[in-house]
Amino acid sequence: MTDNSLQAADTGSLETLVSKQQQFFRTGATRSVAFRKEQLLNLRNATLRLEADILAALTQDLNKSEQEAYATEIGIVLSEIRLALRKVRRWSKPIKVRTPITHVGSSSRIFPEPLGTTLIMGPWNYPVQLLLVPVVAAIAAGNTMVLKPSELAPATSSLLARLIRETFPEEYAAVVEGGLDTSTELLRQPFDHIFFTGSPPVGKVVMEAAAKKLIPVTLELGGKSPCIVHKDANIELAARRIVFGKLTNAGQTCVAPDYLLVHREVKAKLLNQMIKVIEQFYGNEPIQDPDYGKIVNERHFRRLLAYLDDDVRIAYGGQVDEAGCKLAPTLLEGVTLESKVMQEEIFGPILPVMEYDHIDEVLATVRIHSKPLALYVFSENTGFQKEIVENLAFGGGCINDTIIHLATPYLPFGGVGTSGIGSYHGEFGFRAFSHYKGILKQSSRFDIPFRYPKSKWGLRIIRKILR
């Protein structure tokens, strides 16, 4: 098998690779359901075979514990593969739809077809899951794939290159490693679809490059995802689930609660309970806990520290391990909408806490920011839940929990506006990598004359039917 991991931004090599994949796609080999299922099984077997190596790479890059790495990375990939294996035949079948009376004698069907040669660009925070779950969708839909893992998770990038190299021929799937130059060269290639997961600023760059060639995109981005805790919430449960969602991967999660909006009557109780939960999870000195994650690199570490220098008060945490790029779980009070920490997505273990008295304050605060990728509301009042869900725009979320909506293949996952374009997971991923072609089949046994020019009764009949 050829080496399908390119290490540099070699324009000629990239053009050759994309051309090879386009030629292979045109053979039709990827279209059969049997081929798709075989490749899904190959990906599953490779993931299982290299499980220990994947876990080691995630520990090296992000200090992820085995439990967290399996639950949030490998397990989600395997779950997506399992569902795709069961459902890909049904997803791929033509869909029969109704035909209006004006088209008498005809039948209508929608044919899902693969888009072609696709580019999948993954991020560093969940470098396995957020690269391979789109790969599962692309395989199920019948495409070829060029994969670009993040250079900020180098051990995992190298491991993913090995996994793909040992599993698929390069004309079908290949990994291209590298930094900004490599990404720039990839975005110049004539792909049929680009799937990008990352930050909104980089998403704009991807979309601009794609627009020059009218390449469709799926953008999975981020934003300031609020977590709302009403006065009637189960505070002990809310504290546990908020801390879990915020501190998984040391807060480096696109759907992590970014800031807390808590009713004034339960604020003190919630904060006290959250502190207890933090110490239950990670001890009195979390940065000393071997299972507590690290910040990916020094640049991001310094960016997070800058939030603590602003005019805010550290209610809990704030300790740092500079050598290990670790920042303790940190709760901030005295936060306003003008605070630096409220100007951009935090992407770290810092949680600003703001309070409210009335739901109108919640709605106004959330609406100040762009539409977030996620929103969480804790309340036992179904009316309050409904008012939040129906009156605020966001990608998706949970009621009385955080982040776990990401892990179900039966819900669409994606943002809206600046938090993303398009969605995926399960059948929604299949749709993201497919074109739905509408075909009308007309009978040749007879012909209705009223649609043609100069028909005596044509206009009268058309008016009667279409009114």
Active site members: 220, 254
* Residue 388 phi, psi (nearest 5): -70, -50
- Cα-based torsion angle of the residue sequence 300, 302, 303, 307 in order, rounded to the nearest 10 degrees: 140
The H or E element that residue 421 is part of is strand 420-421
Q: Which of 245, 248, 240, 313 is nearest to 276 (CA)?
A: 240
Q: Which residues contact 360 (CB under 8 A, 6 or more apart)?
A: none
Whether the Cβ atoms of residue 192 and residue 343 lie closer than 8 Å to each other: no
DSSP 8-state code for residue 348: S
* Residue 374 phi, psi (nearest 5): -140, 160
* Residue 242 phi, psi (nearest 5): -70, -45
* Helix 51-62 and helix 33-49, axial crossing angle in degrees, nearest 10: 60
CA distance 225 to 125: 17
DSSP reduced 3-state for 127: coil
Pairing outcome for strands 313-316 and 420-421: unpaired
Whether the Cβ atoms of residue 147 and residue 173 lie closer than 8 Å to each other: yes
Query: Tokens 């290639």 sit at which residue?
Result: 189
Name the β-bridge partners of 375: 397
The tokens for 121 are 């660009």
* Helix 129-141 and helix 75-92, axial crossing angle in degrees, nearest 10: 20
User: How many of the other CB atoms lie within 10 Å of CB of 16?
Assistant: 13
* Residue 111 phi, psi (nearest 5): -105, 110
* Helix 51-62 and helix 154-165, axial crossing angle in degrees, nearest 10: 160
Residue 114: left if φ>0, alpha if ψ -120 to 50, beta else—which one? Answer: beta
